[in-house]
């Protein structure tokens, strides 16, 4: 049994990591401010939950004591919000990450795995994205994620702290919040399709994304905790158009939803696709196709809707 700390562990991705590790019998401590996470995401799990902030240096040090690994997901995650609150974004995402690294440094062989982002590539049109590309962050969120990667590398080089950074592309799956002001397309499309409501697409729907299932992201984090010392893309390496995504969801749910097209949103990146081969050479191989992942995700939201009707 090992001890793991998951910052942001009551959130969408973090709760899936917590679920997996607790089922495996590990000691799991979750630190979450519940700003965007929900304690109900940890319901029934054998984890220690601590409501708190990664900016609280003393609390972080206390929780990390004796840990074998830290999965660092806590962050101000909304790109629009990061533009409105730049200082707060830096406080949470950059200074908070330094608190995590400082605490890890005091624990022998405690590895830090950072949840980073494909947003670091900006809107460079070159595809697929490879880790060697010059970053072109366009928002405070992306700048601070890049900061985190640099700090992890610096702590590794200066003090021998084992670290790895994972650049997620478009993650989806159960427990992704469809009601958030900045919700991703997949949970919104699914919820609307299950209720036969219109599905709204901005632009012509031909914009593409590289989707990956949350359970494969859990697998990526576990592998990164065991091996790897660098920055890695986490994606399928396959592009799916937003229109194709909507049509698949309508088909799987047998929905009568109609697709409505609205004006393209300014700042939206047209195409996104990763080259995941660097991480694949370490042994990462996703288990889920888009189709299988969508079916599992749709089943989750269907059950949630049924619960809400009781």
The sign of the dihedral angle between the CA atoms of 156, 78, 301, 10 is: positive
Per the annotation, the verdict on 20 as an active-site residue is no
Return the pLDDT at 205: 96
Average confidence (pLDDT) over 101-117: 97
Q: Which of 56-65, 75-84, 156-165 has the lowest mean pLDDT?
A: 75-84
Q: Report the mean per-residue pLDDT for the chain.
A: 96
pLDDT digits (tens, 9 = 90+) for 177-209: 998 766 789 999 999 999 999 999 999 999 999
Return the pLDDT at 241: 97
pLDDT digits (tens, 9 = 90+) for 255-310: 999 999 999 987 778 999 999 999 999 999 999 999 999 999 999 999 999 999 87
Return the pLDDT at 181: 66
Return the pLDDT at 53: 98
213: pLDDT confidence band, cut at 50, 70 and 90?
Answer: very high
* Catalytic residue (choose from 4, 121, 141, 155): 141
Average confidence (pLDDT) over 37-44: 97
Return the pLDDT at 224: 98
Contact between residue 5 and residue 70 where contact means Cβ atoms under 8 Å apart: yes
């Amino acid at each position: 049994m090992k001890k793991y700390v998951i910052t942001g562990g009551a959130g969408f991705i973090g709760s899936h990591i917590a679920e997996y590790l607790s089922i495996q019998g590990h000691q799991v401590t979750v630190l979450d401010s519940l700003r965007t996470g929900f304690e109900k995401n940890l319901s029934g799990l054998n984890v220690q939950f601590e409501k708190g902030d990664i900016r609280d240096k003393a609390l972080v040090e206390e929780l990390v004591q004796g840990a074998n690994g830290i999965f660092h997901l806590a962050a101000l995650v909304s790109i629009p919000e990061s533009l409105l609150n730049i200082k707060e974004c830096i406080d949470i995402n950059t200074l908070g990450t330094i608190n995590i690294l400082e605490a890890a440094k005091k624990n022998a062989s405690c590895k830090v795995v950072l949840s980073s982002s494909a947003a670091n590539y900006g809107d460079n049109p070159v595809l697929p994205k490879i880790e060697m590309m010059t970053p072109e962050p366009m928002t405070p969120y992306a700048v601070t994620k890049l900061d985190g990667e640099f700090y992890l590398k610096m702590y590794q080089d200066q003090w021998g702290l084992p670290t790895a950074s994972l650049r997620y592309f478009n993650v989806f799956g159960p427990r992704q919040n469809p009601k958030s002001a900045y919700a991703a397309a997949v949970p919104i499309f699914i919820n609307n399709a299950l209720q036969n409501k219109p599905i709204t697409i901005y632009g012509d729907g031909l914009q593409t994304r590289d989707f990956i299932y949350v359970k494969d992201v859990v697998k990526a984090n576990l592998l990164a905790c065991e091996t790897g010392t660098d920055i890695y893309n986490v994606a399928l390496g396959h592009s799916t158009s937003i229109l194709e995504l909507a049509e698949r969801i309508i088909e799987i749910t047998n929905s009568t939803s109609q697709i409505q097209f609205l004006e393209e949103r300014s700042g939206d990146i047209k195409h996104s696709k990763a080259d995941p081969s660097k991480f694949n050479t370490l042994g990462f191989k996703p288990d889920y196709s888009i189709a299988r992942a969508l079916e599992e995700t749709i089943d989750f939201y269907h059950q949630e809707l049924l619960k809400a009707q009781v």
